Structure 1
Protein backbone atom coordinates (compact mmCIF):
# COMPACT_ATOMS: atom_id res chain seq x y z
CA UNK A 1 0.00 0.00 0.00
CA UNK A 2 2.80 2.41 0.90
CA UNK A 3 4.52 1.66 -2.40
CA UNK A 4 1.29 2.33 -4.29
CA UNK A 5 0.78 5.66 -2.52
CA UNK A 6 4.35 6.65 -3.35
CA UNK A 7 3.85 5.79 -7.02
CA UNK A 8 0.70 7.93 -7.12
CA UNK A 9 2.37 11.03 -5.69
CA UNK A 10 6.06 10.64 -4.80
CA UNK A 11 6.67 14.22 -3.66
CA UNK A 12 3.52 14.40 -1.55
CA UNK A 13 4.21 10.97 -0.03
CA UNK A 14 7.85 11.82 0.71
CA UNK A 15 6.84 15.11 2.31
CA UNK A 16 4.33 13.30 4.52
CA UNK A 17 7.01 10.82 5.60
CA UNK A 18 9.42 13.66 6.37
CA UNK A 19 6.82 15.49 8.47
CA UNK A 20 6.03 12.31 10.40
CA UNK A 21 9.73 11.64 11.01
CA UNK A 22 10.24 15.19 12.27
CA UNK A 23 7.27 14.74 14.59
CA UNK A 24 8.71 11.48 15.93
CA UNK A 25 12.05 13.18 16.63
CA UNK A 26 10.39 16.02 18.55
CA UNK A 27 8.16 13.57 20.44
CA UNK A 28 11.18 11.49 21.46
CA UNK A 29 13.14 14.56 22.50
CA UNK A 30 10.27 15.91 24.59
CA UNK A 31 8.94 12.47 25.63
CA UNK A 32 5.44 13.58 24.70
CA UNK A 33 3.14 13.35 21.68
CA UNK A 34 0.94 16.20 22.87
CA UNK A 35 3.65 18.58 24.08
CA UNK A 36 6.19 17.40 21.54
CA UNK A 37 7.73 20.84 21.05
CA UNK A 38 8.45 21.26 24.76
CA UNK A 39 12.10 20.51 25.50
CA UNK A 40 12.73 19.57 21.87
CA UNK A 41 16.04 20.74 20.45
CA UNK A 42 14.72 20.39 16.90
CA UNK A 43 11.62 22.36 17.80
CA UNK A 44 13.72 25.12 19.36
CA UNK A 45 15.91 25.27 16.24
CA UNK A 46 13.11 25.37 13.65
CA UNK A 47 10.13 27.15 15.20
CA UNK A 48 9.17 30.32 13.29
CA UNK A 49 9.73 33.26 15.62
CA UNK A 50 11.23 36.52 14.41
CA UNK A 51 13.37 37.33 17.50
CA UNK A 52 15.21 34.03 16.99
CA UNK A 53 15.84 34.39 13.27
CA UNK A 54 18.86 36.67 13.38
CA UNK A 55 20.83 34.56 15.87
CA UNK A 56 22.84 32.88 13.09
CA UNK A 57 23.29 32.77 9.33
CA UNK A 58 20.81 29.89 9.27
CA UNK A 59 18.12 31.76 11.19
CA UNK A 60 16.02 32.61 8.09
CA UNK A 61 15.80 28.88 7.29
CA UNK A 62 13.21 28.68 10.07
CA UNK A 63 10.81 30.00 7.42
CA UNK A 64 11.05 26.58 5.78
CA UNK A 65 11.88 24.28 8.69
CA UNK A 66 8.88 25.46 10.71
CA UNK A 67 6.65 23.98 8.01
CA UNK A 68 7.80 20.51 9.06
CA UNK A 69 7.05 21.01 12.76
CA UNK A 70 3.67 20.37 14.36
CA UNK A 71 2.26 21.01 17.82
CA UNK A 72 0.68 17.72 18.79
CA UNK A 73 -0.25 14.60 16.86
CA UNK A 74 -3.71 15.90 15.88
CA UNK A 75 -2.23 18.99 14.24
CA UNK A 76 0.21 16.82 12.33
CA UNK A 77 -2.35 14.25 11.16
CA UNK A 78 -4.76 16.85 9.78
CA UNK A 79 -2.03 18.51 7.75
CA UNK A 80 -0.47 15.32 6.33
CA UNK A 81 -3.84 13.93 5.23
CA UNK A 82 -4.79 17.16 3.45
CA UNK A 83 -1.30 17.52 2.01
CA UNK A 84 -1.33 14.07 0.47
CA UNK A 85 -4.89 14.17 -0.87
CA UNK A 86 -4.53 17.59 -2.50
CA UNK A 87 -0.88 17.10 -3.42
CA UNK A 88 -1.78 13.93 -5.31
CA UNK A 89 -4.10 15.96 -7.58
CA UNK A 90 -1.43 18.60 -8.08
CA UNK A 91 1.19 16.02 -9.02
CA UNK A 92 -1.21 14.41 -11.48
CA UNK A 93 -1.67 17.80 -13.17
CA UNK A 94 1.75 19.44 -13.02
CA UNK A 95 4.13 16.64 -12.15
CA UNK A 96 6.25 16.02 -9.09
CA UNK A 97 9.00 18.66 -9.56
CA UNK A 98 6.55 21.56 -9.87
CA UNK A 99 4.54 20.22 -6.95
CA UNK A 100 7.71 20.27 -4.83
CA UNK A 101 8.20 23.88 -5.86
CA UNK A 102 4.61 24.70 -4.87
CA UNK A 103 5.09 23.16 -1.42
CA UNK A 104 8.33 25.01 -0.76
CA UNK A 105 7.04 28.33 -2.07
CA UNK A 106 3.77 27.99 -0.18
CA UNK A 107 5.60 27.31 3.08
CA UNK A 108 7.97 30.26 2.64
CA UNK A 109 5.18 32.58 1.50
CA UNK A 110 3.11 31.71 4.55
CA UNK A 111 6.10 32.24 6.84
CA UNK A 112 6.83 35.62 5.25
CA UNK A 113 3.23 36.70 5.89
CA UNK A 114 3.47 35.66 9.54
CA UNK A 115 6.76 37.51 9.99
CA UNK A 116 5.28 40.75 8.64
CA UNK A 117 1.79 40.62 10.16
CA UNK A 118 2.03 38.43 13.24
CA UNK A 119 5.70 38.23 14.26
CA UNK A 120 5.05 38.21 17.99
CA UNK A 121 3.60 34.66 17.94
CA UNK A 122 5.76 31.52 17.48
CA UNK A 123 4.32 29.52 14.59
CA UNK A 124 4.69 25.96 13.26
CA UNK A 125 2.93 23.69 10.80
CA UNK A 126 2.58 22.66 7.17
CA UNK A 127 -0.72 24.57 6.89
CA UNK A 128 0.83 27.32 4.77
CA UNK A 129 1.95 24.80 2.16
CA UNK A 130 -1.42 23.02 2.38
CA UNK A 131 -3.34 26.26 1.81
CA UNK A 132 -1.14 27.00 -1.20
CA UNK A 133 -2.06 23.56 -2.56
CA UNK A 134 -5.75 24.33 -1.93
CA UNK A 135 -5.57 27.50 -4.01
CA UNK A 136 -3.84 25.66 -6.85
CA UNK A 137 -6.40 22.85 -6.59
CA UNK A 138 -9.25 25.34 -7.08
CA UNK A 139 -7.57 26.44 -10.32
CA UNK A 140 -7.09 22.81 -11.38
CA UNK A 141 -10.76 22.03 -10.75
CA UNK A 142 -11.83 25.17 -12.62
CA UNK A 143 -9.66 24.24 -15.59
CA UNK A 144 -11.37 20.84 -15.73
CA UNK A 145 -14.80 22.51 -15.56
CA UNK A 146 -16.17 19.95 -13.14
CA UNK A 147 -17.99 19.87 -9.83
CA UNK A 148 -14.75 19.74 -7.85
CA UNK A 149 -14.60 23.55 -7.90
CA UNK A 150 -17.43 23.80 -5.39
CA UNK A 151 -15.88 21.13 -3.20
CA UNK A 152 -12.49 22.86 -3.27
CA UNK A 153 -14.02 26.21 -2.32
CA UNK A 154 -16.01 24.58 0.50
CA UNK A 155 -12.81 22.95 1.77
CA UNK A 156 -11.08 26.33 1.91
CA UNK A 157 -14.11 27.96 3.53
CA UNK A 158 -14.41 25.29 6.21
CA UNK A 159 -10.70 25.50 7.01
CA UNK A 160 -10.79 29.29 7.22
CA UNK A 161 -13.82 29.12 9.51
CA UNK A 162 -11.95 26.65 11.71
CA UNK A 163 -8.98 29.03 11.73
CA UNK A 164 -11.12 31.95 12.90
CA UNK A 165 -12.91 29.95 15.58
CA UNK A 166 -9.93 28.10 17.05
CA UNK A 167 -7.56 29.89 19.44
CA UNK A 168 -3.86 29.55 18.69
CA UNK A 169 -4.28 28.85 14.96
CA UNK A 170 -2.25 31.14 12.70
CA UNK A 171 -4.70 33.13 10.59
CA UNK A 172 -1.92 35.02 8.83
CA UNK A 173 -0.05 31.81 8.07
CA UNK A 174 -3.14 30.36 6.42
CA UNK A 175 -3.97 33.54 4.52
CA UNK A 176 -0.35 33.86 3.42
CA UNK A 177 -0.32 30.31 2.09
CA UNK A 178 -3.62 30.88 0.29
CA UNK A 179 -2.40 34.12 -1.30
CA UNK A 180 0.87 32.49 -2.34
CA UNK A 181 -1.06 29.61 -3.86
CA UNK A 182 -3.26 32.02 -5.81
CA UNK A 183 -0.16 33.67 -7.28
CA UNK A 184 1.29 30.26 -8.12
CA UNK A 185 -1.96 29.19 -9.78
CA UNK A 186 -1.88 32.30 -11.96
CA UNK A 187 1.72 31.59 -12.93
CA UNK A 188 1.13 27.91 -13.65
CA UNK A 189 -2.09 28.32 -15.65
CA UNK A 190 -0.88 31.42 -17.47
CA UNK A 191 1.14 29.29 -19.85
CA UNK A 192 1.46 25.72 -21.10
CA UNK A 193 5.24 25.84 -21.40
CA UNK A 194 7.12 24.08 -18.62
CA UNK A 195 10.00 26.57 -18.73
CA UNK A 196 7.63 29.51 -18.35
CA UNK A 197 5.88 27.79 -15.47
CA UNK A 198 9.18 27.32 -13.67
CA UNK A 199 10.04 30.96 -14.26
CA UNK A 200 6.70 32.04 -12.78
CA UNK A 201 7.08 29.75 -9.78
CA UNK A 202 10.65 30.96 -9.29
CA UNK A 203 9.54 34.58 -9.35
CA UNK A 204 6.88 33.98 -6.66
CA UNK A 205 9.38 32.03 -4.56
CA UNK A 206 12.00 34.76 -4.93
CA UNK A 207 9.55 37.40 -3.70
CA UNK A 208 8.65 35.21 -0.70
CA UNK A 209 12.31 34.62 0.18
CA UNK A 210 13.08 38.32 -0.20
CA UNK A 211 10.17 39.20 2.12
CA UNK A 212 11.60 36.87 4.78
CA UNK A 213 15.15 38.19 4.47
CA UNK A 214 14.07 41.84 4.48
CA UNK A 215 11.94 41.31 7.58
CA UNK A 216 14.78 39.55 9.43
CA UNK A 217 17.23 42.27 8.40
CA UNK A 218 14.81 44.96 9.57
CA UNK A 219 14.45 43.30 12.96
CA UNK A 220 18.20 42.81 13.36
CA UNK A 221 18.74 46.57 13.05
CA UNK A 222 17.14 46.99 16.46
CA UNK A 223 14.07 48.90 15.26
CA UNK A 224 11.89 49.17 18.40
CA UNK A 225 8.76 48.68 16.31
CA UNK A 226 10.08 45.63 14.50
CA UNK A 227 7.54 43.29 16.13
CA UNK A 228 4.60 45.56 15.43
CA UNK A 229 3.40 46.98 12.13
Structure 2
Protein backbone atom coordinates (compact mmCIF):
# COMPACT_ATOMS: atom_id res chain seq x y z
CA UNK A 1 0.00 0.00 0.00
CA UNK A 2 2.77 2.42 0.92
CA UNK A 3 4.53 1.66 -2.36
CA UNK A 4 1.33 2.35 -4.29
CA UNK A 5 0.79 5.66 -2.51
CA UNK A 6 4.36 6.66 -3.32
CA UNK A 7 3.97 5.79 -6.99
CA UNK A 8 0.82 7.90 -7.26
CA UNK A 9 2.36 10.99 -5.67
CA UNK A 10 6.01 10.63 -4.62
CA UNK A 11 6.52 14.14 -3.22
CA UNK A 12 3.28 14.15 -1.23
CA UNK A 13 4.03 10.67 0.10
CA UNK A 14 7.59 11.67 1.01
CA UNK A 15 6.33 14.79 2.82
CA UNK A 16 3.90 12.65 4.80
CA UNK A 17 6.68 10.19 5.66
CA UNK A 18 8.93 12.99 6.93
CA UNK A 19 6.12 14.44 9.07
CA UNK A 20 5.40 10.99 10.53
CA UNK A 21 9.09 10.49 11.30
CA UNK A 22 9.36 13.90 12.98
CA UNK A 23 6.25 13.16 15.03
CA UNK A 24 7.69 9.80 16.09
CA UNK A 25 10.92 11.48 17.24
CA UNK A 26 9.06 14.07 19.31
CA UNK A 27 6.78 11.41 20.77
CA UNK A 28 9.78 9.30 21.83
CA UNK A 29 11.55 12.32 23.30
CA UNK A 30 8.50 13.39 25.30
CA UNK A 31 7.17 9.85 25.88
CA UNK A 32 3.73 11.02 24.80
CA UNK A 33 1.66 11.11 21.61
CA UNK A 34 -0.66 13.82 22.91
CA UNK A 35 1.89 16.08 24.58
CA UNK A 36 4.68 15.19 22.20
CA UNK A 37 6.15 18.70 22.15
CA UNK A 38 6.19 19.23 25.91
CA UNK A 39 9.65 17.79 26.53
CA UNK A 40 10.99 17.36 23.02
CA UNK A 41 14.38 18.76 22.10
CA UNK A 42 13.42 18.69 18.43
CA UNK A 43 10.21 20.53 19.19
CA UNK A 44 12.08 23.19 21.14
CA UNK A 45 14.54 23.63 18.27
CA UNK A 46 11.95 23.91 15.47
CA UNK A 47 8.84 25.57 16.92
CA UNK A 48 8.01 28.87 15.20
CA UNK A 49 8.50 31.57 17.84
CA UNK A 50 9.99 34.93 16.95
CA UNK A 51 11.88 35.57 20.24
CA UNK A 52 13.91 32.41 19.58
CA UNK A 53 14.71 33.06 15.92
CA UNK A 54 17.61 35.47 16.33
CA UNK A 55 19.63 33.32 18.74
CA UNK A 56 21.68 31.71 15.96
CA UNK A 57 22.23 31.94 12.17
CA UNK A 58 19.92 28.92 11.84
CA UNK A 59 17.07 30.52 13.78
CA UNK A 60 15.12 31.60 10.66
CA UNK A 61 14.99 27.94 9.57
CA UNK A 62 12.24 27.52 12.17
CA UNK A 63 9.98 29.03 9.49
CA UNK A 64 10.33 25.75 7.61
CA UNK A 65 11.02 23.24 10.39
CA UNK A 66 7.88 24.24 12.29
CA UNK A 67 5.83 22.97 9.35
CA UNK A 68 7.00 19.44 10.15
CA UNK A 69 6.01 19.60 13.83
CA UNK A 70 2.55 18.80 15.18
CA UNK A 71 0.96 19.12 18.60
CA UNK A 72 -0.66 15.76 19.18
CA UNK A 73 -1.50 12.82 16.96
CA UNK A 74 -4.89 14.19 15.89
CA UNK A 75 -3.36 17.43 14.62
CA UNK A 76 -0.78 15.47 12.70
CA UNK A 77 -3.19 12.96 11.13
CA UNK A 78 -5.57 15.63 9.81
CA UNK A 79 -2.74 17.48 8.12
CA UNK A 80 -1.05 14.46 6.55
CA UNK A 81 -4.33 13.13 5.15
CA UNK A 82 -5.20 16.48 3.57
CA UNK A 83 -1.63 17.01 2.40
CA UNK A 84 -1.55 13.70 0.56
CA UNK A 85 -5.01 13.88 -0.99
CA UNK A 86 -4.66 17.45 -2.26
CA UNK A 87 -0.97 17.13 -3.01
CA UNK A 88 -1.67 14.13 -5.22
CA UNK A 89 -3.97 16.22 -7.41
CA UNK A 90 -1.33 18.93 -7.66
CA UNK A 91 1.36 16.44 -8.61
CA UNK A 92 -0.81 15.02 -11.38
CA UNK A 93 -1.20 18.54 -12.79
CA UNK A 94 2.16 20.23 -12.29
CA UNK A 95 4.48 17.33 -11.56
CA UNK A 96 6.37 16.37 -8.45
CA UNK A 97 9.19 18.97 -8.47
CA UNK A 98 6.82 21.94 -8.72
CA UNK A 99 4.60 20.42 -6.04
CA UNK A 100 7.60 20.22 -3.73
CA UNK A 101 8.20 23.91 -4.41
CA UNK A 102 4.57 24.73 -3.61
CA UNK A 103 4.78 22.87 -0.30
CA UNK A 104 7.98 24.59 0.81
CA UNK A 105 6.89 28.04 -0.35
CA UNK A 106 3.46 27.63 1.25
CA UNK A 107 4.98 26.60 4.57
CA UNK A 108 7.41 29.54 4.63
CA UNK A 109 4.71 31.96 3.46
CA UNK A 110 2.45 30.87 6.30
CA UNK A 111 5.29 31.29 8.79
CA UNK A 112 6.02 34.76 7.47
CA UNK A 113 2.41 35.80 8.07
CA UNK A 114 2.50 34.42 11.62
CA UNK A 115 5.74 36.23 12.40
CA UNK A 116 4.34 39.56 11.26
CA UNK A 117 0.83 39.28 12.64
CA UNK A 118 0.98 37.05 15.73
CA UNK A 119 4.63 36.44 16.71
CA UNK A 120 3.79 36.19 20.41
CA UNK A 121 2.27 32.72 19.93
CA UNK A 122 4.44 29.62 19.35
CA UNK A 123 3.14 27.91 16.22
CA UNK A 124 3.59 24.49 14.61
CA UNK A 125 1.96 22.43 11.89
CA UNK A 126 1.81 21.72 8.16
CA UNK A 127 -1.50 23.58 7.80
CA UNK A 128 0.13 26.51 6.01
CA UNK A 129 1.45 24.22 3.29
CA UNK A 130 -1.90 22.42 3.13
CA UNK A 131 -3.79 25.69 2.68
CA UNK A 132 -1.40 26.66 -0.11
CA UNK A 133 -2.21 23.34 -1.80
CA UNK A 134 -5.93 24.01 -1.33
CA UNK A 135 -5.66 27.35 -3.12
CA UNK A 136 -3.76 25.76 -6.01
CA UNK A 137 -6.29 22.92 -6.18
CA UNK A 138 -9.21 25.37 -6.42
CA UNK A 139 -7.45 27.14 -9.28
CA UNK A 140 -6.78 23.84 -11.05
CA UNK A 141 -10.44 22.81 -10.76
CA UNK A 142 -11.62 26.23 -11.93
CA UNK A 143 -9.32 26.19 -14.94
CA UNK A 144 -10.75 22.82 -15.95
CA UNK A 145 -14.32 24.00 -15.27
CA UNK A 146 -15.18 20.76 -13.50
CA UNK A 147 -17.34 19.93 -10.50
CA UNK A 148 -14.37 19.68 -8.14
CA UNK A 149 -14.15 23.45 -7.70
CA UNK A 150 -17.29 23.51 -5.56
CA UNK A 151 -15.97 20.76 -3.30
CA UNK A 152 -12.60 22.47 -3.01
CA UNK A 153 -14.21 25.78 -2.00
CA UNK A 154 -16.37 24.00 0.57
CA UNK A 155 -13.25 22.31 1.96
CA UNK A 156 -11.54 25.67 2.39
CA UNK A 157 -14.67 27.20 3.91
CA UNK A 158 -15.10 24.38 6.43
CA UNK A 159 -11.45 24.57 7.43
CA UNK A 160 -11.57 28.34 7.88
CA UNK A 161 -14.73 28.03 9.96
CA UNK A 162 -13.00 25.42 12.12
CA UNK A 163 -10.03 27.78 12.47
CA UNK A 164 -12.24 30.63 13.66
CA UNK A 165 -14.21 28.50 16.11
CA UNK A 166 -11.36 26.50 17.65
CA UNK A 167 -9.09 28.06 20.30
CA UNK A 168 -5.37 27.65 19.75
CA UNK A 169 -5.56 27.30 15.96
CA UNK A 170 -3.41 29.77 14.02
CA UNK A 171 -5.72 31.89 11.86
CA UNK A 172 -2.80 33.90 10.48
CA UNK A 173 -0.87 30.76 9.60
CA UNK A 174 -3.82 29.43 7.63
CA UNK A 175 -4.45 32.76 5.91
CA UNK A 176 -0.76 33.08 5.11
CA UNK A 177 -0.71 29.68 3.46
CA UNK A 178 -3.92 30.45 1.56
CA UNK A 179 -2.58 33.80 0.34
CA UNK A 180 0.72 32.26 -0.74
CA UNK A 181 -1.09 29.45 -2.54
CA UNK A 182 -3.35 31.92 -4.32
CA UNK A 183 -0.34 33.84 -5.65
CA UNK A 184 1.35 30.59 -6.68
CA UNK A 185 -1.81 29.41 -8.43
CA UNK A 186 -1.97 32.62 -10.47
CA UNK A 187 1.69 32.24 -11.43
CA UNK A 188 1.53 28.54 -12.29
CA UNK A 189 -1.70 28.65 -14.28
CA UNK A 190 -0.80 31.80 -16.19
CA UNK A 191 2.60 30.52 -17.28
CA UNK A 192 2.61 27.95 -20.07
CA UNK A 193 6.24 26.89 -19.98
CA UNK A 194 7.83 24.93 -17.17
CA UNK A 195 10.78 27.32 -17.07
CA UNK A 196 8.45 30.29 -16.59
CA UNK A 197 6.58 28.47 -13.85
CA UNK A 198 9.82 27.79 -12.02
CA UNK A 199 10.86 31.41 -12.36
CA UNK A 200 7.57 32.56 -10.87
CA UNK A 201 7.69 30.03 -8.03
CA UNK A 202 11.25 31.02 -7.15
CA UNK A 203 10.24 34.69 -7.15
CA UNK A 204 7.41 34.01 -4.69
CA UNK A 205 9.72 31.88 -2.55
CA UNK A 206 12.27 34.68 -2.46
CA UNK A 207 9.58 37.13 -1.33
CA UNK A 208 8.36 34.97 1.57
CA UNK A 209 11.91 34.20 2.67
CA UNK A 210 12.67 37.93 2.61
CA UNK A 211 9.55 38.56 4.71
CA UNK A 212 10.82 36.10 7.33
CA UNK A 213 14.37 37.49 7.40
CA UNK A 214 13.21 41.10 7.58
CA UNK A 215 10.87 40.29 10.48
CA UNK A 216 13.67 38.56 12.40
CA UNK A 217 16.02 41.48 11.67
CA UNK A 218 13.44 44.04 12.86
CA UNK A 219 12.91 42.08 16.08
CA UNK A 220 16.63 41.59 16.74
CA UNK A 221 17.27 45.34 16.45
CA UNK A 222 14.49 46.15 18.89
CA UNK A 223 11.91 47.24 16.32
CA UNK A 224 8.27 46.40 16.85
CA UNK A 225 7.26 45.99 13.22
CA UNK A 226 3.53 46.30 12.58
CA UNK A 227 1.09 46.25 15.52
CA UNK A 228 0.31 42.81 16.89
CA UNK A 229 -3.23 41.50 16.70
Contact 1:112 1:212 in 2 (8 A): yes
Structure 2 contact 116–225 (Cα < 8 Å) conserved: no
Question: Do the aligned residues in 2 keep the contact of 1:120 with 1:227 (CA within 8 Å)?
Answer: no
Corresponding residue number in structure 1 for 2:118: 118
Question: SS at 2:48's partner residue?
Answer: coil
Residue in structure 2 matched with residue 198 of structure 1 by the alignment: 198
Q: What corresponds to 1:147 in structure 2? A: 147
Q: Deviation digits for residues 34-84 of structure 1, max 9, x if unmatched?
A: 000001000000000000000000000000000000000000000000000
1:37 maps to what in 2? 37
Instruction: Work out the CA distance in 2 between the residues paired with 1:151 and 1:141.
Output: 10
Contact 2:184 2:201 in 1 (8 A): yes
CA drift of 1:228 comes to: 4.1
Q: Secondary structure at the match of 1:201?
A: helix
Distance in 2 between residues matched to 1:145 and 1:2, nearest whole Å: 32
C-alpha separation in 1, matches of 2:37 and 2:98:
31
Where structure 1 has 5 or more consecutive residues not aligned to the other structure, the ranges are none
Structure 1 distance, partners of 2:191, 2:17, is 32
Report if the CA contact (8 A) 1:219-1:227 is conserved.
no
Deviations 1:166-201 (A, max 9, x none): 000000000000000000000000111000000010
The number of aligned residues is: 228
- 1:74 is aligned to 74
Q: Deviations over 1:124-156 (max 9, x none)?
A: 000000000000000110111110000000000
Residue 219, structure 1, aligned to residue 219, structure 2: yes
Matches within 5 A, 1:43-192: 43-192=43-192
In the alignment, what sits opposite 1:11? 11
1:25 and 1:144 map into 2 onto residues whose CA distance is 41
CA offset at residue 226 of structure 1? 4.9
TM-score relative to the length of structure 1: 0.98
Preserved CA contact (<8 Å) 2:105 2:129: yes
Alignment check: 8 A CA contact 1:138 1:153 kept: yes
Flag structure 2 segments of 5+ consecutive residues without an equivalent: none
Distance in 2, matches of 1:67 and 1:45, equals 12
CA-atom RMSD, angstroms? 0.8
Distance 2:111 2:227 in 1: 16
